[in-house]
């Protein structure tokens, strides 16, 4: 067949289409270059126009050009733009993800590194199953070695290009030596299945190119130009792949922004962009500082904040657009007050902007509950991006199913969901036998469970587990008659083992799910406080109805409303109107990210990403008190807020103030029995007078490590009660090692620790 005719792209006036610095990056001819592209400065534009320039102006064969990025979506959009600008023929540039590049390489040459030619690619579920098999084979319990945590550790080793042998050589403690055995066993199981995981693709691609000169030589001869997007997000394996392909004098264009590096927790190494010239000697570094998205006020405010990071190369973004409105800061009384202010503000913008042009960004998924309910209450359509609606999340559905069985034990559907959740040794066979008895007797599963003769007919192990579950539920049913719903729910979460099961896994997903569980307790507390005259059982019934109606309204929401998403999900997006909610210590920066300077700096970059999503209007909010696990806790506003110069801010303090105890016009949470025992000190003086408390507690000013010593008992607003193990250094930058009753050992930076001495 004759070659397909080349389709010419549109005419391009390069100097008019691109600014001076973009044009310099686009027509860079030889050698490595790093393009530091600030937020909204045209990063993707530079990559796509550079490919078009190489093809159209330099006559480079499209097949000699490869561009790699991190997501299939980004690659798809880039590919479309390249084809529009450059036209295409029978040969096209490779535009895809790192993993797609590695896959193409291994499909062709994988047998040279002992991979099956038709190897399968295992997803996360497949991987977890293999890890569990490996744990069984090594006689290690899932309780002590969470499969997800083990898989995460193995993934980290592969990203560092450590084989099982290399990892074992570096194993220096009990845990890592056991992981080394599991890693070796896991790789054996993958090999038996003729499969690889996603980390393997990069691992074996690097191995292949390192050890096979013929393959490497062929790729180097063919691949004349390499472009890498989001270079700040590359890990060690990806950096090595780029270095190997490029050789000593690579024609490499790397584009990225160290201020938007927010995936360190996923293995990204910021030093790859910070030390670019060391990795690629002779590199030219260019900065794109003209912003085409945000007002100058937003750029100056976010820039002043992120300048507090040490790990950065530095840039100052500017725009030809207007200065813009000040950034609005709202300091609310609680999360309900915060949600009302946010939704009211969005509604006020509807005359000028479509709801689809507005976004509310949060640090964690658990924060969306109050926002979702307020949006629903005021009839404002919304769409949850990159997550599941609060009441649709698996852990929430589990707890709702428990409550439904307490109210109506004949609910077979809910019974099925909870009987072995969390796992308590009631397998499918046992449940089938119980169901057969129930069907024969013409009764519900619960009624069958109450019959001792039914349980006597089931094998001992399953029968014992069923009796234990039955007795636990019977005790809870008695409690439901007289306990307030929040207390009932708290007992359910603890005594069922649900919270314990999540804590033991100790991975990012489980921690997120536990935060959602605690937020559900807050929802129950908030609901019950509004019904002081109802009996506990009536309140439970109404709460379940409320949840059902809210979930049903959720399902009726149409796309096209306000976008509600986490800060991580917002990267790469832009909106005329943006609100970043929950700027409080422990939320942003998150309490899981306060152990080192690097952790704090990544949280600061995360806020920077959120702020620079805004085009015209930006608001930041925080609360004086936030309900955590059903009880209000005093919050300290995020230290990041103090890093934004006052000249860019318009601060509004909530009109809902904390009054003295004699006034009954305060929010009901100030009358919650025992609320003070769940709070720590803290001050947001501009929000209102000091809180009402039956027992004064120490203030929550930043902890000084000099005031603590080994053995001191402390209280943290989120982590709970703990004991100091070690104090390292002094002053606000000192570090404090604390063992918490529920969370184990944590290392905290003194400045952000928020520890009260018990």
Catalytic positions: 43-44, 229-230, 260, 613
Helix residue spans in 160-197 (DSSP H)? 164-170, 174-192
Helix (H) or strand (E) holding 569: helix 567-570
Query: Looking up tokens 């929010």, which residue turns up?
Result: 667
Q: CA-CA distance, 71 to 742, in Å (whole number)?
A: 36
Which candidate, 60, 633, 532, 561, places its Cα nearest to that of 350? 561
Rg, the chain, Cα only: 29
C-alpha torsion sign, points 567, 70, 386, 504: negative
Planar angle of CA 722, 724, 730, nearest 5 degrees: 135
Q: What is the bridge-based pairing of β-strands 720-728 and 735-740?
A: antiparallel
Other Cβ atoms less than 10 A from the Cβ of 502: the count is 22
Q: What are the phi and psi torsion angles at 80 (to 5°)? A: -60, -40
Residue 292, C-beta contacts closer than 8 angstroms, at least 6 positions apart: 40, 41, 42, 319
Beta-strand pair 252-256/614-623: unpaired
Residue 576: burial class (beta carbons within 10 Å; 0-12, 13-18, 19+): middle
Residue with tokens 């393959």, as numbered in its chain: 215
Hey, what are 503's tokens? 């804590």
Q: How far apart are alpha carbons 153 and 177 in whole angstroms?
A: 12
Annotate 207-229 with b (16+ C-beta within 10 A) or e (fewer).
bbbeeeeebbeebeeebbbbbbb
Alpha helices in 632-697 (DSSP H): none
**Nearest Cα to 116, choosing from 204, 186, 217, 238?**
204
Q: How far apart are CA 359 and CA 345, in angstroms?
A: 12
A 10 A CB-CB count for 453 gives 7
Cβ-based burial of 322 (10 A; exposed 0-12, middle 13-18, buried ≥19): exposed
Residues 416, 424: Cα–Cα separation, whole Å: 13
Report the chain's terminal Cα–Cα distance, integer Å: 82
379: enclosing H helix or E strand:
none
Question: 343 near 581, Cβ under 8 Å?
Answer: no
Q: Are 720 and 740 in contact (CB under 8 A)?
A: yes
The total of other beta-carbon atoms located within 10 Å of residue 283's CB is 16
Q: How far is CA 748 from CA 192, 278, 303, 727, 753, in A?
A: 44, 32, 26, 10, 6
> Which has the closest alpha carbon to 677: 621, 717, 719?
717
Q: Cis omega (within 30 of 0) on the bond before 589?
A: yes
What is the rounded distance in angstroms from the CA atom of residue 35 to the CA atom of residue 408?
62
């Amino acid at each position: 067949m004759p070659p397909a005719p080349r389709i010419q792209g549109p005419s391009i006036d390069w100097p008019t289409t691109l600014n001076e610095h973009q044009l310099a990056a686009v027509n860079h001819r030889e050698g490595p270059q790093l393009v530091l592209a600030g937020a909204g400065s045209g990063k993707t534009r530079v990559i796509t126009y550079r490919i078009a320039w190489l093809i159209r102006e330099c006559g480079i064969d499209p097949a000699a050009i490869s561009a790699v990025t991190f997501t299939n979506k980004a690659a798809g959009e880039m590919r479309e733009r390249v084809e529009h600008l450059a036209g295409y023929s029978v040969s096209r540039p490779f535009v895809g993800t790192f993993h797609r590049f590695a896959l193409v390489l291994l499909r062709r040459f994988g047998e040279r590194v002992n991979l099956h030619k038709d190897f399968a690619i295992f997803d996360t579920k497949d991987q977890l199953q293999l890890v569990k098999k490996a744990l069984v084979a090594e006689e290690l319990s899932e309780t002590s070695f969470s499969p997800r945590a083990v898989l995460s550790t193995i993934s980290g080793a592969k990203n560092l290009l450590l084989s099982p042998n290399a990892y074992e050589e570096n194993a220096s403690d009990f845990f890592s030596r056991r992981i080394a055995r599991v890693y070796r066993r896991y790789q054996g199981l993958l090999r038996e299945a003729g499969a690889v995981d996603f980390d393997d693709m990069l691992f074996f691609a690097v191995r292949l190119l390192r050890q096979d000169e013929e393959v490497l030589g062929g790729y180097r001869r063919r691949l004349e130009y390499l472009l890498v997007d989001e270079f700040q997000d590359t890990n060690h394996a990806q950096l090595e792949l780029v270095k190997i392909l490029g050789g000593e004098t690579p024609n490499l264009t790397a584009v990225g922004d160290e201020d938007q590096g927010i995936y360190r927790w996923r293995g990204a190494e910021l030093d790859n962009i910070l030390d670019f010239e060391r990795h690629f000697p002779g590199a030219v570094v260019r900065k794109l500082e003209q912003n085409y998205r945000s007002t100058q006020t937003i750029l100056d405010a976010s820039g002043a904040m992120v300048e507090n990071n040490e790990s950065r190369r530095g840039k100052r973004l500017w725009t030809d657009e207007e200065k813009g409105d000040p950034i609005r800061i709202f300091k609310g009384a609680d999360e309900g007050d915060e949600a009302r202010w946010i939704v009211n503000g969005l509604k006020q913008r509807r005359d000028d902007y479509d709801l689809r042009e507005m976004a509310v960004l949060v640090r964690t998924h658990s924060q969306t509950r109050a926002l979702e309910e307020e949006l629903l209450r005021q009839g404002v359509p919304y769409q949850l991006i990159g997550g599941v609606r609060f009441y649709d999340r698996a852990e929430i559905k589990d707890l709702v199913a428990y409550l439904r069985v307490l109210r109506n034990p004949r609910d077979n559907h809910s019974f099925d969901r909870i009987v072995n959740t969390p796992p308590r040794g009631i397998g499918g066979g046992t449940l089938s036998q119980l169901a057969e008895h129930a069907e024969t007797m013409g009764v519900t599963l619960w009624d069958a469970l109450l019959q001792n003769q039914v349980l006597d007919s089931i094998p001992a192990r399953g029968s014992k587990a069923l009796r234990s579950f039955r007795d636990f539920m019977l005790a809870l049913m008695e409690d439901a008659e007289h306990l307030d719903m929040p207390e009932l729910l708290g007992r359910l979460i603890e005594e069922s083992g649900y919270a314990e099961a999540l804590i033991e896994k100790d991975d990012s997903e489980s921690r997120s799910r536990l935060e959602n569980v605690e937020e559900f307790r807050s929802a129950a507390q908030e609901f019950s406080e509004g019904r002081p005259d109802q009996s506990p059982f009536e309140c439970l019934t109404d709460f379940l109805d409320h949840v059902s109606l809210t979930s049903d309204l959720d399902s009726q929401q149409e796309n096209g409303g306000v976008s509600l998403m986490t800060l991580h999900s917002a990267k790469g997006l832009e909106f005329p109107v943006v609100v970043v909610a929950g700027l409080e210590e422990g939320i942003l920066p998150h309490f899981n990210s306060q152990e080192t300077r690097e952790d704090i700096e990544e949280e600061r970059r995360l806020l920077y990403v959120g702020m620079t999503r805004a085009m015209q209007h930006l608001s930041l909010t925080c609360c004086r008190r936030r309900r955590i696990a059903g009880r209000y806790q005093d919050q300290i506003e995020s230290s990041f807020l103090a890093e934004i110069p006052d000249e860019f801010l318009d601060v509004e303090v909530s009109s809902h103030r904390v009054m003295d105890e004699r006034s009954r016009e305060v929010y009901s949470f100030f009358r919650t029995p025992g609320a003070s025992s769940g709070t720590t000190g803290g001050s947001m003086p501009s929000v209102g007078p000091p809180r009402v408390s039956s027992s004064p507690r120490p203030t929550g000013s930043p902890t000084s490590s000099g005031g603590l010593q080994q053995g001191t008992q402390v209280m943290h607003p989120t982590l709970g009660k703990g004991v100091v193990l070690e104090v390292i250094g002094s002053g606000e930058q000192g570090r404090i090692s604390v063992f918490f009753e529920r969370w184990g050992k944590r290392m905290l930076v003194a400045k952000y620790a928020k520890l009260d001495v018990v």
